């Protein structure tokens, strides 16, 4: 077995990353994710809150608890793109865990369906397994070297992950044990021959959450967990729903109202449906059997948008983005809006293309207020899209082959003459 398994590097300078901050980072750039007391930096995977049935604070450590209701993985409350992470861990006999990164929350799927994993394992217990599944390895893909230094069960080990410009390094007790490039042909070949071959989101997220894996079979303790971002200025928070803190750069645009509450300045109607302003609200009423749209005059590429809606009729609606219109023929992606529960409000539907891209989480399906006001929110950064329904995470999706990357925002009245919708508090901010 070679002393180091390395896929093609993104550049020679990256080989010098040794868990030391780049010149642009200072010592105080580190953010403590667990200080021995507070769990505020964490929540449960696909949960808004910290999963107390799965994890406890024991002394100055975070410790797994067996038998918790799944899913039990921990994820950071902030997503990370390029970063350096370090922590210490120890195991009981049979312990199994891992550190995952660039994790997306896929409805009904575990964290490892999207996030690559630095494996943490009682290697002696699982010697029959492939070395690609032992401690320090890129789980199931690249084995850490056989001469790595890993301390026995019950003793503390230190691991680290560096992600910079899609170049990734795994570190174990001060030694680099794995290096590879996300998106490289070499990695794609490995994935194609692995258990991940039918998981289209695996190792393809441009950014995502850091996760600590909860795995039944043995106890795991973590301590001294900290992270720092690489290559970009520290982010500032932007508006977010419970359990989700998206980040934007200080150069992101200010919030701008798309609707002045008085008239439809800045909007253009398409089709024969009736769009008016009523009591400070956009009021759309379907008067034919055809579709109708009210679009912005300005186009948007990367942005965050929020709007409140209320369905008074029985017809379907939606908010399109990256769209273009020829009469009432629209091309673009729709954030679904439907007056009926369980009809996928917050999901993404591509018009004149692939149809449903992704449907919303079960929690978001249940968040819809029938016959009342609801808020839908979307963040679009390149192929990465996130939506919320009344603050509940609905979709976290990266499109592997986006057809539309810029265009109008448009409100829809569905064909059939049954649409009757109200919209208000429609705001947008362009993001970098």
Residue 67 pLDDT: 73
Residue 109 in any domain: the answer is yes
Q: How many CB atoms lie within 10 A of CB 369?
A: 13
Inside any domain, residue 240? no
State residue 316's pLDDT score: 81
Pairing of strands 220-229, 61-64: antiparallel
Q: Within its chain, how far is the Cα of 375 from the centroid?
A: 20
Tell me, yes or no, whether 203 and 274 share the same domain. Answer: no
Q: Which CATH number covers residue 207?
A: 2.60.120.560
| Domain annotation covers residue 309 | yes
pLDDT number for residue 121: 95
Q: Are residues 209 and 129 in the same domain?
A: yes
Same domain, 371 and 260: yes
Task: State residue 243's pLDDT score.
Answer: 34
The pLDDT value recorded for residue 251 is: 42
Q: Which of 176, 198, 233 is the last residue of a domain?
A: 233
pLDDT at residue number 99: 98
Residues 365 and 421 in one domain: yes
* Boundary residue ending a domain (233, 248, 274): 233
Q: Which stretches of the chain score pLDDT less than 70? A: 1-28, 68-70, 232-253, 416-417, 432
Residues 134 and 169 in one domain: yes
d(CA 248, CA 235): 6
Residues 215 and 108 reside in one and the same domain: yes
In a domain, 239, yes or no: no
Q: What is the pLDDT of residues 279-293, one digit of tens each?
A: 899 999 988 888 899
Asked if the structure places residue 245 within a domain, the reply is: no
**Residues of the domain holding 44:** 5-233
Claim to verify: residue 194 and residue 66 sit in the same structural domain: yes
Whether residue 229 is found in the same domain as residue 110: yes
Same domain, 211 and 327: no
290-338 pLDDT, tens digit per residue, is 889 999 999 999 999 999 999 887 778 999 999 999 999 999 999 999 8
Residues 139 and 98 in one domain: yes
Instruction: Determine the 3-state secondary structure of 84 from DSSP.
Output: strand
Same domain flag for 9 and 67: yes
Q: Are 395 and 347 in contact (CB under 8 A)?
A: yes
Q: Helix or strand or coil: residue 183?
A: coil
Q: Does residue 246 fall inside a structural domain? A: no
How is residue 142 annotated by DSSP?
B
User: Reduced to 3 DSSP states, what percent helix, strand and coil does the chain have, rounded to the nearest 5?
Assistant: 5, 45, 50
Residue at 302 is within a domain: yes
Domain count, the chain: 2
Say whether both 105 and 168 belong to one domain: yes
Q: How distant, in Å, are the alpha carbons of 81, 101, 147, 300 from that of 206?
A: 6, 11, 32, 20
Give pLDDT, residue 311. Answer: 87
Identify the pLDDT of residue 414.
82
φ, ψ of residue 225 to 5 degrees: the values are -95, 120
Residue 242: inside a domain, yes or no?
A: no
173, 202, 233 - which closes a domain: 233
């Amino acid at each position: 077995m070679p002393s180091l398994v390395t896929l093609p590097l993104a550049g020679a300078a990256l080989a010098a990353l040794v868990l030391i901050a780049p010149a642009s980072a200072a010592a105080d750039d580190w953010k403590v994710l667990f200080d021995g007391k507070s769990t505020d930096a964490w929540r449960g995977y696909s949960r808004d809150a910290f999963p107390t049935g799965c994890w406890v604070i024991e002394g100055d450590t975070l410790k797994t608890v067996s038998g918790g209701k799944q899913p039990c993985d921990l994820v950071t409350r902030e997503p990370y793109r390029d970063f350096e992470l370090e922590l210490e861990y120890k195991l009981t006999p049979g312990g199994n865990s891992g550190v995952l990164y660039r994790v997306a929350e896929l409805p009904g799927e575990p964290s490892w369906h999207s996030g690559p994993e630095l494996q943490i394992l009682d290697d002696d217990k699982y010697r029959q397994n492939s070395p690609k599944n032992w401690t320090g390895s890129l789980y199931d893909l690249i084995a850490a070297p056989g001469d790595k230094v890993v301390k026995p069960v019950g003793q503390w080990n230190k691991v680290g992950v560096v992600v910079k410009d899609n170049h990734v390094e795994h570190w174990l007790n001060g030694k680099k044990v794995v290096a590879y490039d996300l998106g490289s042909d070499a990695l794609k070949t490995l994935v194609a021959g692995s258990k991940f071959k039918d998981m289209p989101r695996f190792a393809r997220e441009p950014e995502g959450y850091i996760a600590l894996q909860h795995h039944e079979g043995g106890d795991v303790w973590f301590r001294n967990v900290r992270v720092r971002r690489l290559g970009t200025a520290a982010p500032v928070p932007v508006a977010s729903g419970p359990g989700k803190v998206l980040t934007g750069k200080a150069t992101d645009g200010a919030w701008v109202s798309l609707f002045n509450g008085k008239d439809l300045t800045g909007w253009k109607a398409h089709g024969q449906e009736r769009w008016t302003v009523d009591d400070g609200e956009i009021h759309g009423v379907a008067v034919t059997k055809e579709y109708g749209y009210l679009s912005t005059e300005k186009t948007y590429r990367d942005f965050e948008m929020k709007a409140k809606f209320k369905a008074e009729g029985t017809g379907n609606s939606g908010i399109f983005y990256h769209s273009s219109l020829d009469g009432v023929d629209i091309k673009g992606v729709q954030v679904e809006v439907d007056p009926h529960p369980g009809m996928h409000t917050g999901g993404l539907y591509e018009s004149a293309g692939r149809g449903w891209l992704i449907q919303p989480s079960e929690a978001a399906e249940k968040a819809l207020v029938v016959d009342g006001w609801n808020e839908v929110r979307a963040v679009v950064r390149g192929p990465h899209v996130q939506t919320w329904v009344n603050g509940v995470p609905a979709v976290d999706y990266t499109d592997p082959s986006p057809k539309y990357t810029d265009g109008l925002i448009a409100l829809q009245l569905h064909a059939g003459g049954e649409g009757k919708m109200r919209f208000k508090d429609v705001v947008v901010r362009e993001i970098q």
